[in-house]
C-alpha cells in the first residue's frame, strides 16, 4: 500500500470478513463470491487474511442495494464500472 493510500480516509483496511459481512447485513460466503466475481478486492495480509476498509464496506452496501433491486452480479459489475467512470469524469471536469 502506498503512503498516499494510507492517508486517504476510508481506505485503511481493518475489518475482518465476518465483521464486514455483519456490518452490511450479508454472510461471509457472499463476500467471497463478490471477490471471485471481481466486484470487490479487499486487502490481503501476508498470511492471506482478507481485511476490509470503509471504502470496501461502502461498495458492499451498494452491491447489496443493487441485489435487492433485482440486478444480477453481472449487471452489478457493469453498474459499478459505470458509476466509477462517472465519478472519474466528474472529477476531471471539476479540475478543468
Burial class (CB in 10 A: 0-12, 13-18, 19+), 28: middle
- CATH fold for the domain made of 3-95: Multidrug-efflux Transporter Regulator; Chain: A; Domain 2 (1.10.1660)
- What is the pLDDT at residue 8? 61
The pLDDT tens digits of the residues spanning 9-67 come to: 667 999 999 999 999 999 999 999 999 999 999 999 999 999 999 999 999 999 999 99
Question: 63-79 pLDDT, tens per residue?
Answer: 999 999 999 999 999 99
| DSSP assignment letter at 39 | S
Give residue 74's pLDDT.
97
Distance CA 85, CA 54 (A): 20
pLDDT at res. 5 = 47
Amino acid at each position: 500500500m502506498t503512503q498516499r493510500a494510507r492517508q486517504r480516509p476510508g481506505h485503511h483496511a481493518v475489518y475482518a470478513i465476518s465483521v464486514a459481512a455483519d456490518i452490511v447485513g450479508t454472510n461471509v460466503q457472499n463476500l467471497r463470491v463478490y471477490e471471485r466475481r471481481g466486484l470487490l478486492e479487499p486487502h490481503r495480509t501476508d498470511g492471506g487474511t482478507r481485511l476490509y476498509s470503509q471504502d470496501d464496506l461502502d461498495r458492499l452496501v451498494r452491491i447489496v442495494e443493487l441485489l435487492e433491486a433485482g440486478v444480477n452480479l453481472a449487471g452489478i459489475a457493469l453498474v459499478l464500472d459505470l458509476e466509477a467512470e462517472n465519478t472519474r469524469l466528474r472529477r476531471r471536469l471539476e479540475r478543468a
